[in-house]
Structure 1
């Protein structure tokens, strides 16, 4: 455990050695695999950060099994892991997996309902068998578990000031995931999945084969323009929820919003030609967004 781990765990009042090791494990997962999300989380007061790392660490553990497990055994492995996790999170058995232990402590601390975790695991299980979604409403039902409940869990830690913050947090979780779906079309297709609604593909005359061709064809570019417009409308509603959070939480979510929505700008700057490469926000842009936000965040920590 490094000094950064010790500092945030001390700030959160987490003293049990096993819990501290579990949270440190989640932070490492977050730092390694969730670069944008992790960068934004550093703008939270130190005492809030372990709980955000725990939420990410558990989600990452599920993703790792579903996306990178052996094709012949991952469904069985995921079912066994998720069944154990739910039993342990319900308090019916000791939590053995570090990410489950950290999440259980986080759920107790912030009174997060088990049903949200059940919804998340249900959507992760869908990725084992479901390869496309006929309509946008079908996709939204999937995103409730895979993204919206993460937004709702995060909101508890971010300390909402009113109930209206919750539907906007749900929308922001969906908006972040839609951005990932647009950016990761080629990567998802390699796994046999398409997260753009089939009704939208049909509307623009796009087939799965079109999504696998490079350079990106004209009809696919039109489809992407449509998806980006939908994504931005969702962001426009969700971003109003930032002012409904505790002031010390706002720089984190403002930064996450600016960086994630910046991915859409990167897609447009590439003229939507993204099927042969993974676009991202340039490091200099990330620093230009994050550094002033960090200065604002530190000032808020001192006055909170």
Structure 2
């Protein structure tokens, strides 16, 4: 599973920092899931339908217990070991098809559904790996809300870069309500109307982070608890930095430094 570990190291320092302290059977399982989803995401983002369909075909082999590649075999092992439901990857694939086909997000409901598909599903995949507790429906909804908050943080941070790559995740209805145009997204500086829209979505996202404690309470193992805490608080720190920058996500790319990650780690450890 080392190849999957190298993928998460390369593409998500925040997630790798969070999950690398876990016992190998948990960390490796998370790396495998990340690796598969990252490859699926890359194919969708780069508008590569051939590779995307190969990934989907590979997933169908996993579901039918006919895995061929090492990644497919590892993925089947993870899903079997932790009794993960196949529909979560099916839902993820539907969300990635949105990016592959460059489909517009028209309403807040569309945005919510998309964020569930590409992020809420991830939470529902990871939490059972991190805890032996059974997750009931109410807790599933809390996990989904928190996953949506993580995805919305990414969307808000990357508005300009996403537009440059052909993606608009701000709902058309909301852009019209705030008189935000594509010209605002293409500009070098942030417009007053776009800032107001970002403020609205940022406040909604910060409220969704209120579910972090309820989700973290599901995880009793200290190492697992620390791992998911680091991921959640790392992303919430990005959103707080957006706020401190007066919601100007065009000024510079916002990220959490190694020093800030270490501070978060110490706070998490001493809070337990």
Same fold (TM over 0.5): yes
Query: Does structure 2 retain, via aligned residues, the 8 Å contact 1:204–1:219?
Result: yes
Deviates more, 1:36-45 or 1:117-126: 36-45
CA distance in 1, matches of 2:18, 2:58: 31
Q: Distance in 2 between matches of 1:86 and 1:26?
A: 20
Aligned length: 269
* Map of 1:218 onto structure 2: 192
Q: Structure 1 77/219 Cα, relative in aligned 2: closer, same or farther at 3 Å?
A: same
Contact kept, 8 Å, 1:251 with 1:294, in 2: the verdict is: yes
1:283 partnered with 2:258: yes
Give per-residue Cα distances to partners, 1:14-59, cap 9 Å, x unaligned.
Answer: xxxxxxxxx1111110111011111111243343111111111111
Comparing 125-134 with 55-64, greater Cα deviation is found at 125-134
Partner of 2:91: 119
Q: Deviations over 1:42-87 (max 9, x none)?
A: 243343111111111111111121223xx5xx11331233123222
Alignment of 1:186-205 (within 5 A): 186-205=160-179
C-alpha contact 1:171 1:238 (8 A) present in aligned 2: no
Determine the structure 2 residue equivalent to 1:47: 25
Alpha-carbon separation, structure 2, partners of 1:100 and 1:208: 40
Q: Is the CA contact (8 Å cut-off) linking 2:58 and 2:67 kept in structure 1? A: no
Do the aligned partners of 2:58 and 2:72 also contact (CA within 8 Å) in 1?
Answer: no
Q: CA deviation at 1:295?
A: 8.0
* 1:155 lines up with 2:139 in the alignment: no
Q: Which residue among 46, 52, 65 is the counterpart of 2:43?
A: 65
State the partner residue of 2:236. Answer: 261
- Compute the displacement of 1:151 (Å): 0.6
Equivalent residue number for residue 75 of structure 2 = 103
- In the alignment, which residue of structure 2 is the partner of 1:183? 157
- Structure 1 CA distance for aligned equivalents of residues 24 and 110 of structure 2: 38
Q: Out of 122, 129, 141, which is 1:167 matched to? A: 141
- SS of equivalent to 1:180: helix
Q: Does the 8 Å contact 1:215/1:276 carry over to 2? A: yes
Give the drift of 1:204: 1.3
Residues 67 and 76 of structure 2 are in contact (CA less than 8 Å); yes or no, is this contact kept in structure 1? no
TM-score normalised by the chain length of structure 1: 0.82
Give the C-alpha shift of residue 106 in structure 1.
Answer: 0.5
TM-aligned CA distance change 1:108 to 1:49, over 3 Å: same
TM-score normalised according to structure 2 size: 0.91
Name the Cα RMSD after superposition: 2.0
Q: Does the CA-based 8 Å contact 1:211-1:275 persist in structure 2?
A: no
1:276 Cα offset (Å) = 4.8
Residues 229/295 of structure 1: CA separation in 2 closer, same or farther (3 Å cut): closer
User: Residue deviations 1:180-235, cap 9 Å, x none?
Assistant: 00001112112211111122212211111101112111111111110100101111
Q: Which runs of 5+ in 2 are unaligned?
A: none
Are 1:31 and 2:3 matched, yes or no? Answer: no
The alignment partner of 2:188 has SS state of: coil
Bigger mean CA deviation after superposition, 280-289 or 150-159: 280-289
Decide which of 111, 116, 129 is 1:144's aligned counterpart: 116
* Shift, 1:269, TM fit: 2.0
Cα 1:49–1:296, aligned 2, differ >3 Å: closer, same or farther?
Answer: farther
